[in-house]
Amino acid sequence: MNEERPNVHMVFFPTELYMGLIKKMAAFEIGKSAAILDSINEDLFNKGFISKETYEKFRNTYRKKLLDVVRQKEVEVKPLTREQMEEAQKISQLDKQFNMVLEQWDLHPSIEWRFKWVKKAEEWKDKIPSAKTLLDLANRKVVSNE
């Protein structure tokens, strides 16, 4: 698995440069990757290789404080309510059931059994992909008269 990925390059820093990065990380309260990319951004702009617009865009991106990013992510992640957790559990169980029904569909020629599952899948087709798959299978079988 020795694939070379574009735009990825491992760099070994001399101790003096690495210490400078650590100071930059502390001063701006940013992570290691952000400090490295910000340094490259600064150099490319100062040497005239990138436009001021590009420089500003990346400067604002790389200088976002780590704590601000962490706080923003904490705000975005809201714990589920009890009802949401119960529904998620129910959906997970139904998904497993629908997948088992899909596997056993050809083993059960009983119209009543199939109708029961098609009816249940109809209720959940918008929330559970395996229910939609079951309906598609049932429709294919009806159309092809199998």
- The structure's pTM equals 0.46
Mean pLDDT of the chain: 84
pLDDT tens for each residue of 17-41: 889 888 888 888 888 888 898 999 9
Indicate if the pLDDT at residue 1 is higher than 50. Answer: no
Name the packing angle between helices 111-124 and 129-143 (round to 10°).
Answer: 140
Average confidence (pLDDT) over 99-112? 89
Indicate if the pLDDT at residue 136 is higher than 80. Answer: yes
Residue 78 identity (one-letter amino acid): K
What pLDDT is stored for residue 69 in this prediction? Answer: 62
Residue 12 identity (one-letter amino acid): F
Torsion of CA 85, 90, 93, 94, to 10 degrees: -140
b (16+ CB within 10 A) / e for 108-130: eeeeeebeebbebbeebbeebeb
Q: Phi first, then psi: what are they for 78, rounded to 5°?
A: -110, 135
